[in-house]
Amino acid sequence: MTMTPDPLKVCMLSNLYPPVASGSSIQSSSLARELARRGTRVVVVTARVDTGTAYHERVDNVDVYRLPALRLPRLPIAMNFPWLSFTFTPANARRLEAIYGQHAPDVLHLHNHMFDLGLSAARARRRLGLPLVVTIHTVIRHSFWLYNLALIPADRLLLRRAVIDQSEAVICPDANIVEYARQAWDRTDTWLVPYGITAPERPGDGQIADLRTRHGLHGKRVILSLGHLHSIRNRTDLIAALPHVLRSQPDVRLLIVGAVSTDSAARQAEALGVREAVVLAGPVPHAEIGGYLALSDLEAHWLNQEAPEKTSLGIASLEAMAAGKTVLSVANPDTYGPGVIRNGENAILVEPGQPETLANVILGLLEDTDRRDLIGARAAETIKAHFSWDHVCARTLEVYQQAKASVAHRSAAVERTNPPR
């Protein structure tokens, strides 16, 4: 009689999880869903930052627990991030013990090393002897040098000792994060596992028309910019390019979709006399992203905290590519390996700090529908080939098994060194 092995049981921990609208939130929830679809038992622990959510619910065959959390104020050092929370309390420690006892996970998987659930994950790893896997979603660095005097040492000393050094495996979604892990923590044993991307569903014409009405976009050409607006993702070059773009195409609008944590974009647009051409949509449910992509001509946004060779394409850009859109970005073309991102073929890569050149690139694309469509079609094929959930889940499960083997090997070594009497 053949015995069927028990399914792997994973506990994911992330301070950011839906209904929070952020790239890592969407990615961690999507990974949980896709692993569950493939037979892994997944439980998620997150912070209850929205008081309208339940402590426990089951979504997509994933048990989600939301710990009571203290919602922290927006802080400039954290780029006014709106979902900072604190969960590291004795009461939540007891709740976590109960969750671990009920679900008996084989592996702990932490998303985002800078939030306080990282401390809880490291504590559980020590107390329960479970392997800990950490996915690094974000480089800790600020656009204002003075804040980096505190952030960089905290990352490279405190977080390294408290979280990173406690982990059996570190997952990096791109080559730039791999290099960050090497430089910041001397981790050369990282795993490159790209983000899994699901193409947004194209909405009906009625929904697209509703979005155009909501934002005053009927008859307008739309440059869509997905992602939260803060001091690093500030759209400075895009806004600086608008006066030149509008002289040739006065019906163009820059539509920024995401939480607004700084007024710098509005102030810059006002100073340049293009305020009416910049539309701040604010945060929207992820389910609406397909509609925004459908009404857009281009998608463009990037981070400016690093040089281009250290900059990655974000999840929003990858989702735009999956939807068949031409994406403009400042990014390392080898972010996901040589030949994956090909400038001029499946994406458009631009240099920072050159708004007039950027404006000419935008105008050229707006005037050439056939070229936009061709680049978009190639982009969609690239996402299918390199960012499928089958590939991402298989690679993630490989990391889990390796982490389990590492713990087993360490335990065996301890037993050999200290045999029972």
**pLDDT of 197-254, one tens digit each?**
988 888 888 999 999 999 999 999 999 999 889 888 899 999 999 999 999 999 999 9
pLDDT at 415: 61
Q: How confident is the model at residue 310 (pLDDT cuts 50, 70, 90)?
A: confident
9-196+388-417 folds as Rossmann fold (3.40.50)
pLDDT of residue 2 exceeding 50, the answer is no
Q: Is there a shared CATH topology between the 9-196+388-417 domain and the 205-386 domain?
A: yes
Residue 192, SS3 per DSSP: strand
pLDDT-derived band of residue 1, with 50, 70 and 90 as boundaries?
A: very low
* pLDDT band per the 50, 70, 90 thresholds, residue 268: very high
Q: Is the pLDDT of residue 175 over 50?
A: yes
DSSP β-bridge partners for residue 102: none
pLDDT of 397 over the 80 cut: yes
pLDDT at 360 > cutoff 90? yes
Domain boundaries, the chain: 9-196+388-417, 205-386
Give residue 104's pLDDT: 97
Per-residue model confidence as pLDDT tens digits over 113-154:
999 999 999 999 999 999 999 999 988 988 788 999 999 999
Fold topology of 205-386: Rossmann fold (3.40.50)
Give exposure, 200-224, as e/b (b: 16+ Cβ within 10 Å): beebeeeebeebbeebebeebbbbb
266 contact partners, CB below 8 Å, separation of at least 6 = 275, 278, 280
Instruction: Judge whether residue 3 has pLDDT over 60.
Output: no
Nearest Cα to Cα of residue 272 among 309, 308, 247, 307? 247
